[in-house]
Amino acid sequence: MSRLTVELGERSYPIHIEAGLLKQTGFFASYIKGPLAVIVTNDTISPLYLDDMIAACGDKSVEVITIPDGEQYKSLEQYGVIMTRLLEMNAARDTTLIALGGGVVGDLCGYVAATYQRGVPFIQVPTTLLSQVDSSVGGKTAVNHPLGKNMIGAFYQPVLVAIDIATLSTLPAREFAAGMAEVIKYGIIYDASFFDWLESHHDALNSLDEKALKATILRCCEIKADVVAKDEREGGLRAILNLGHTFGHAIEAEQGYGNWLHGEAVAAGTVMACHTAMHLNWMSSAEALRIQGLLEAFALPVTGPDNMEYDAYIKHMRRDKKVEAGNIRFVLPQGIGKAVVTKDVTESILRQVLQ
């Protein structure tokens, strides 16, 4: 098993990465402090992994809350449904919530955990590549609103992130590709040698080679853990993890949550960020083409929706969490391996990129 730690003082927690982890009976018992664990999952994951998850809780009492599958269910409505169920079962402050699923389940369950009785412990058990390399680590929890993605939420760290690589064997190809957008992001913003490695191992990753997957997930978690330890609440450095997200969130909101997967929107948004950086002379066309080529190697979109105009992007981007004093801030690459946050993007440049 690979193990690393997100170093946050008294709120530090481990990340375990292993194929077959869910098959380890009782593995989670020591992380469940009280007598009751409540598993929050969705109706796609439940028939695949719920029985294993219950067994992995050992001798703890277990309740299950199942929500529909889809980005559109990361909502205040489903938040209310889960809260009602917890109250109905008289869940106490020592109840541990377990998020079994992808980013929607993890973000939603985490926000419930942050706010139920002002905070109860929770465990992340991510089952998609995107959630394993990104959303399960770092304590960002949220729900969506029709006017903006992840605008309602809290920073709230789990007590454990448990990544079973074997769950990727049941992941649809489109979902796997969406996760690779976040993987590629880490190489662009933080580690040029990792980007090089991804270029030479894309065939192995597309064929779900276990060794390649484990190395990929481990490196992404190492980078995310390092960034979060230095800047837990996104006061500076952590913002670079949002490469492509300002453009991407606008696509998701405008197209309707779930029509474009998060990773697909981030992929297109990453190319837009590269084009913006080129206009500022921060990135060469050769580097931008390498990034676009690697995204295309995983069948990811590299342009935005045909039916989305400049004004639609700007409408949503002005609601982005990185807006300061009315100025949209962008995460832009400075070559491969480094990124910065800037507000020095003119309307003229934006129009050229978005039109």
Active site residue ranges: 118, 140, 182, 224, 234, 238, 242, 245, 249, 262
Q: Where are the beta strands (DSSP E) in the chain?
A: 2-6, 13-18, 36-42, 61-67, 96-101, 122-126, 140-145, 148-155, 160-164, 330-333, 339-342
Contacting residues for 286 by C-beta, under 8 A, at least 6 apart: none
3-state helix, strand, coil in the chain (%, to 5): 50, 20, 30
The string of DSSP letters for 282-347 reads SS-HHHHHHHHHHHHHTT---S--TT--HHHHHHHHTT-TT-BTTBPPEEEESSTT-EEEE----H
Residue 22 has phi, psi (to 5 degrees) of: -65, -15
Q: Which two tokens stand for residue 28?
A: 């989670």
Which residue matches tokens 């990811």? Answer: 300
Query: Which DSSP helix (H) or strand (E) runs through 85?
Result: helix 76-88
Question: Strands 148-155 and 140-145, how do they pair?
Answer: antiparallel
Maximum C-alpha span of the chain? 62
Query: b or e along 270-288 (b: 16 or more beta carbons within 10 Å of the residue's beta carbon)?
Result: bbbbbbbbbbeebbeeebb
Cα(188)–Cα(291) distance, rounded to whole angstroms? 8
Binding residues for NAD(+): 69-74, 103-107, 127-128, 140, 149, 167-170
CB hemisphere CA count around 215 (13 angstroms):
13
Cα(72)–Cα(197) distance, rounded to whole angstroms? 35
Region at 299 (left for phi over 0; alpha for psi -120 to 50; beta for the rest): left
